[in-house]
Structure 1
């Protein structure tokens, strides 16, 4: 019998054409939701994800929208409601990141990183929350955050800033939306094997780096998607809001717990 933990729900996943967003969209469809897939590039991959969802017997709606534009995001949510009838789950996974020393960074890329990764998440959460408030039936939102919110990775200042802001955004939203039974949580993925990582690393570099992580490997997008599903599933998480769920393979464990340190 098919799983229906979010059966009858409608979910919006941003950044759904690849990586964590794509895996999350498909996972929510497996759990019974109809899914609106937001994307801004990788048209063929977005079509493929939608096809996979329809194969599961669920509705899939493709929305090519730049989440850094508030008006476009608000229109996107209105279009979802018109087409699919409602909106119950919001997952913010859209991201952009350039990596350069902040002293010499191209400011167009620096601003784009913040516009998509921070403002895009805010616009989506705001528009989705307003729709859930109108429905008066509660809801759930998950923000895909990052350990970058707490660890100052060099040459990632804009991304670090954006992800740190998302933590406070989500927790504040959780406070304000609690009386309306709309839950807001954050997932911290560890280093995850996604197409986006190839912007910065070769396969060989990723393989070597993965061996140095606490678990000795990168996460899969499907593992992160399972955590998102856990947080939107009312059976498993109805009493969870305003929290950060670490799915990071032990990244925040003390240094002496890392691989190979047992010989010390």
Structure 2
């Protein structure tokens, strides 16, 4: 895969999977806009690593739930690099509470960032790509939550299910413009965001119960996402790529080593 001469924007790329995607794209030749909401210092560190790799980097602090801020971020990217060729919707927010007890401010914030933020970024990026007339590639980071109704995560589940459908709809609307739109489903990945919900001990114990006996890494996810954006995937649009370590399999029904 090569992204020489390509310019990318990744939302929520100051840490975790987003940061790994930004760095992997830079390793393969892309200039990258690093987006954050409040983690400006982390975003600047990612940008510095991108520059160390010989590529250009732009840091934009913007709340993706603000449509005008997202549209301005796309504008800044084009002003800085000359075009926008690749877009990854990765920014997310999630509160975890049972639906009956949910704080509605947190519930709405989850939907505003995770669903509306994804839509605003996809729409603004697609508009720019269509305007340029050279095609482009968009990847929406979704989740197995799109089809598995995890309890305490209703707002997040709703948002991810919406992302899957919006991406497929965008794919068919944009195919005539040679703008590809795909979905990426990571599994349980070892990111800073998981520390909001679990202790280190819980993460360690939970990882042992997974089919591969470990969590995935952001770097593994980044390689998969970069494939969906690359020319190697030129015939791929409206598709979902899953890298979940087998979580979607009926791993709970595995036979014991003794064959029982």
TM-score range, shorter chain: over 0.9
Ranges in structure 2 where 5+ consecutive residues have no aligned partner:
none
State the aligned residue count.
260
Query: Following the alignment from structure 1 to structure 2, what is the Cα–Cα distance between the partners of residues 262 and 111?
Result: 49
1:203 is the counterpart of 2:230: no
Q: Would you say 1:126 and 2:142 are equivalent positions?
A: no
Tell me which of 97, 104, 117 is aligned to 1:100.
Answer: 97
CA drift at 1:254: 2.2
| TM alignment of 1:58-137, pairs within 5 A | 58-137=55-134
Q: Is 1:162 matched with 2:159? A: yes
1:239 aligned onto 2:198: no
Change (3 A) 1:33 1:111: same
Unaligned runs of 5+ in 1: none
TM-score scaled to structure 2, two decimals?
0.97
8 A contact 2:35–2:62 mirrored in 1: yes
1:249 corresponds in structure 2 to 245
Aligned-residue offset at 1:107: 0.5
8 Å contact from structure 2 (residues 36, 62) kept in 1: yes
Counterpart Cα distance in 1 of 2:208 and 2:14: 28
CA deviation digits over 1:141-180, x for unaligned, max 9?
0001000001000000000000000000000000000011
CA contact 1:213–1:259 (8 Å) conserved in 2: no
Is 1:231–1:240's contact at 8 Å kept on the other side of the alignment? yes
- Aligned-partner Cα distance in 2 for 1:262–1:171: 44
Report the equivalent of 2:217: 220
The two structures have a TM-score, normalised by structure 1, of 0.96
Structure 2 match to 1:48: 45
CA contact (8 A) 1:25 1:35 kept: yes
- Flag the 1:259–1:191 CA change in 2: closer, same or farther, 3 A: farther
1:253 to partner: Cα distance = 1.2
Q: Indicate conservation of the 8 Å contact 1:212/1:259, yes or no.
A: no
How far apart are the structure 1 equivalents of 2:255 and 2:12? 33
Contact 1:17 1:41 in 2 (8 A): no
Using the alignment, how far apart are the partners of 1:161 and 1:142 within structure 2? Answer: 19
- Could you tell me whether the CA contact under 8 Å between 2:190 and 2:215 is conserved in 1? yes
Determine helix, strand or coil for the equivalent of 1:68.
coil
Deviation at 1:262, TM superposition (A): 6.3
Counterpart in the other structure of 2:8? 11
Classify 1:128/1:261 alpha carbon distance in 2 versus 1 (closer, same or farther; 3 Å). Answer: farther
Q: Pairwise CA RMSD of aligned residues?
A: 1.2
